[in-house]
Amino acid sequence: MTMITSLQKEDDERREILDSVLKRTHEQRLTPKHQHRTSELRSRQFWQGILAEILGSLVFVSAVLGALVPGPDGVSPGPIYPALAAGMATVVLGYCFGEISGAQVNPAVTVALLATRKLDVLRAGVYLLAQCLGGILATGLMYLSLPLKSTAQNYINKVPVEMNAGQALVMEMLATFLLGFTVFSVEDQRRRETNEPGNLAIGFAGRFSGASLNPARSLGPAIILGYWEHHWVYWIGPILGAVLAGMSHEFIFAPSASRQKLVACLTCKDIEMVETASVSRSSLSTVTQSAMRSKQHNKLEHS
């Protein structure tokens, strides 16, 4: 009887916690959107995130473009050096700006975070602008520093002659799917194990194909050098790949994945409230089942 009473008391406490969380979440949803946006614009963290994305994109694109410059003998560095430069830059930026803006430095990743409701529209919009600005500034600075301006043609993302635009689009989508899925998996792991070395995993996942995988990296050279042929490939492909990766991870493979969570996302409802209610109900169900088993066990002992 003592065990059953304690379990029932724990059950009541969990119900009270659930009710308070749901009430607080409901009150937050009733707060006018313009008040939230005003407070967001006034916050220091908001502007720190913008600056982090500008500087991070500048560093990332500069590292990639710098690795594309031919050596003194005019030999092209090939796909290995840009891949390594991008991977190591991603690792460094993750440690520098990960706690400020998430070190996204990629419009495709930002759109995927927006699609999975992990980023609000305002912050996603300004991060996209910041990333594109950083990519343009990086390309401009790298172009001005070149002794031979003709070598800047290596900066441009071009569809290979042995491929067509459709094939390049699929390659961009598949490669960015790998990158995006790694980003979401690492972030989910970080929430449960803070000592997980996720930046290294993201860095190595992103550059195996030697492709763009980052619209901001392609936009800078396109604007500075005026080359727009098949430029759409390097926007649509990465964004589709990253969004598909984020949706599949969050609503199929993640531990918190559920049909209710997917419906909440598609109907623009509060995903956090659905997750909290799901976890709490699961805990309540476990406590209730334990109480019933203890009660049946005591009856058998008395009989």
More confident residue, 240 or 38: 240
In the prediction, which pLDDT does 204 show?
A: 53
Residue 270: band (very low, low, confident or very high) from pLDDT cuts 50, 70, 90 = low
Amino acid letter at 217?
A: R
Three-state SS string across 142-171, please? HHHCCCCHHHHHHHCCCCCCCCCHHHHHHH
Whether residue 233 has pLDDT greater than 80: yes
In the prediction, which pLDDT does 135 show?
A: 94
Q: At what angle do helices 215-225 and 44-68 cross, to 10 degrees?
A: 70
For residues 176-195, give the mean pLDDT. 78
Mean pLDDT of the chain: 77
pLDDT tens sequence across 155-173: 888 888 888 888 889 988 9
Tokens, residue 133: 């600005």
- Name the nearest CA neighbour of 223 among 165, 143, 166, 126: 143
More confident residue, 198 or 80: 80
Gap between the Cα atoms of 213 and 231, Å rounded:
12
In the prediction, which pLDDT does 8 show?
A: 63
More confident residue, 29 or 155: 155
Gap between the Cα atoms of 95 and 58, Å rounded:
16
pLDDT tens sequence across 113-132: 999 988 889 999 999 999 99
Whether residue 35 has pLDDT greater than 70: no
Q: Are 136 and 65 in contact (CB under 8 A)?
A: no
Gap between the Cα atoms of 172 and 234, Å rounded:
7
Tokens, residue 262: 């997917």
End-to-end CA separation in angstroms for the chain: 15
Max Cα separation, the chain?
94
Gap between the Cα atoms of 71 and 292, Å rounded:
74
Q: Using CA of residue 268, residue 269, residue 270, residue 274, what is the dihedral sign?
A: negative
In the prediction, which pLDDT does 108 show?
A: 94
In the prediction, which pLDDT does 102 show?
A: 86
More confident residue, 129 or 66: 129
Whether residue 206 has pLDDT greater than 50: no
Gap between the Cα atoms of 107 and 132, Å rounded:
8
In the prediction, which pLDDT does 210 show?
A: 41
Lowest mean pLDDT: which of 1-10, 109-118, 239-248, 252-261? 1-10
Most confident of 32-46, 77-91, 96-110, 250-264: 96-110
Whether residue 100 has pLDDT greater than 70: yes
Q: Are 216 and 61 in contact (CB under 8 A)?
A: yes
More confident residue, 265 or 299: 265
32 burial (CB, 10 Å; 0-12 / 13-18 / 19+) is: exposed
Residue 282: band (very low, low, confident or very high) from pLDDT cuts 50, 70, 90 = very low
In the prediction, which pLDDT does 19 show?
A: 64
Residue 56: band (very low, low, confident or very high) from pLDDT cuts 50, 70, 90 = very high
Whether residue 70 has pLDDT greater than 50: yes
Residue 300: band (very low, low, confident or very high) from pLDDT cuts 50, 70, 90 = low
